[in-house]
Amino acid sequence: MDSPHHDYITSPAKRRKPNPPREIGVMRKSSVDNGSATFLGSSSGIHFIRTVYTSFARRSAHLSQSQKAQENLVPGEDDQLLQSPGHDALAVKNELWAPQELDHRSRTASFEQLVQWTRSYFECWHPMFPFLSGPKFLELLERISQGGLNGVKTTDVILVRSIVSISLMDGRQLDATRCTHVPAKLVFRTVDQAMESLHTLFCDPPTISTLQAAFSVALFLASLLRLNAASRIGGVITRTAFHLGLHRCPARFACFNPEEAAVRQRLFWSIYCLERYLSQSLGIPLSIRDDDIDVCYPGIERHGVGIYVVELRNKSILHSQETSNTATQVNGELAHWWNEVYDDVYPVEEDPGVSPLHRLLLIVFRHESIISMNRPLLATDQSSPEYKTALQVCIESSRSLITALRGYVLPSGQGTVPLVWPSFTWAVWMSCLILVYAAWEGDFPVLSASRYAKTGLSILQNLSLRGNTWSQTCIEAIRDLESALSNPPPTPPTDNRPASPGPAEDRAPDYPTNIADDPRPAPQYHPSVVFGDSSINNVPFTYPFPDPGDFESGWNDLWTVADGPWLIEENFDQNSGFQI
């Protein structure tokens, strides 16, 4: 009997299809030989940042090595900034305040002064993160005005220092020339001092006061774009919140009175929103999952779609199950959200209850989300319809985002509250990168990209008044890229690629660009600034593609994002996939 025939040739239909290119994170070994490394996930935009620098490096020698090193950085990575050879680590860790901003005399501040020094926080930040009880905080300020800091608990001292420090930073954007003279003992002098204040806080059983104090420090660090430090504290905060049962709705339990229940709800959702922002900014997994919580939201619940974008962008390749249907569903949810808030942004009749900053945040969140949803498609082949469509969508949102921010900070604009939301720096940085990259690749007019880049620089100059390092770092990088774009090397056209981009029709808005040096008196705060927190969530929103069905054939698996630790930068080749 003949032996059976074994056919070891796999039919073409059963052959494994190669994975399409994906946005990936990077694993970077520490410059210090201690065996450590740092990871930055793809939702931070690091893959696209490196794509832009790689594209420029192929045809331009303008980028110096010190500037080119920024291709591995994103705004907020304070750990990496401390290790970067192009930056002075001592300068990053030193005194946060100028001499004229602090009063080093030992004196007791009046209640009115304490209220004035914390007003900016409650006008700008409290609507977004209402983790405090306003009346109780005023009682705390009254006790401090009578007996100083020695008469209050450690948690209250930390809380007051965080709030005053944030308010003092806000004041720099309102009027950079005014002298505040806040008592030095009421602020954190350095980032290290803020971190060290929490060392003994968690030695005792946790309380709501402990959690509020820790969260205030994390928020202070986030306002400085020290996101690694804020994220580390956030991990402890999240677990402590679980220990205190904040992930369960207090209305279900009779042991909480209405005031206690309200504080628990507001504190939890403040932790939730900041955690979402930090997770997306650093590309790290979520600590709080929606299916683990049942806390009622204080007000109309409009935060639900936020989880979808973060989850869609932060999954390991082994667990990512995104398909075109998933992407369509997420886009539909985001469109539903935008339709709900559209009348708040563009009211038929002026609504004094909605502040200009409120409207600006909704617009920026929308376009941030469009970019976050479409940017991964820029990892596909440049000749594909998916790439071309995604690039044009990103261009449109980048222009709209920069224009909205610019209109707010112009002296003639409606902005009466500083640009305090931490992601504004990332949003401007990413938008400028997209427009400069599109112009470099011949898909957008060079003059328009250059004008928008300069507009973005003026916005970053305003943000840099807060004193954080990252705004200035982004300014230097964008200036360098814009200079390379304005002086491209001549390259002959080929069959597949046009000649190097040159001057084209300039349709960018003709804005002045020197707003950082335009002093304005401190504006009077309007009650409409306190617009509630229901609209403020870390994750932005968007609308779907015009007709997702048109792209069905090309969308399979295009939304997968590989943040696996095995995909380190040394082993990844952008053109051929990855190799081990």
Whether residue 225 contacts residue 425, with contact meaning beta carbons closer than 8 Å, is answered with: yes
Give the per-residue pLDDT at 538. 33
Give the per-residue pLDDT at 413. 60
Give the per-residue pLDDT at 210. 95
Q: Does residue 560 or residue 455 have the better pLDDT?
A: 455
Determine the Cα–Cα distance for residues 343 and 339; give it in Å rounded to an integer: 8
Q: Is it the case that residue 18 has pLDDT exceeding 70?
A: no
Picking from 335, 342, 276, the residue whose alpha carbon sits closest to that of residue 310 is 276
**For the chain, domain boundaries:** 10-72+341-580, 96-298
Percent of the chain residues topping a pLDDT of 70: 66
Q: Is it the case that residue 281 has pLDDT exceeding 60?
A: yes
144 alpha-carbon distance from chain centroid: 35
pLDDT in tens, 74-129: 666 665 555 554 444 455 467 899 888 898 887 888 999 999 999 999 988 998 89
Give the per-residue pLDDT at 38. 73
pLDDT-derived band of residue 486, with 50, 70 and 90 as boundaries? confident
Give the per-residue pLDDT at 399. 96
Give the per-residue pLDDT at 380. 79
DSSP states of 55-95: HHHHH-S-S-HHHHGGGG--TT-HHHHHH-TTS-HHHHHS-
Give the per-residue pLDDT at 496. 52
pLDDT in tens, 155-172: 999 999 999 999 999 988
What is the arithmetic mean of pLDDT over 184-200? 92
What is the arithmetic mean of pLDDT over 436-461? 94
Determine the Cα–Cα distance for residues 345 and 338; give it in Å rounded to an integer: 10
Give the per-residue pLDDT at 504. 40
Give the per-residue pLDDT at 414. 62
- pTM for the complete prediction? 0.72
Work out the widest C-alpha separation in the chain, in whole angstroms: 105
DSSP states of 465-485: TT--HHHHHHHHHHHHHHHHH
Q: Does residue 123 or residue 557 have the better pLDDT?
A: 123
- Exposure string of 532-569, with b = 16+ CB inside 10 Å and e = fewer, is ebbbbbbbbbbbbbeebeebeebbeebbbbbbbeebbb
What is the arithmetic mean of pLDDT over 277-306? 74
Lowest mean pLDDT among 69-73, 293-297, 354-358, 376-380: 69-73
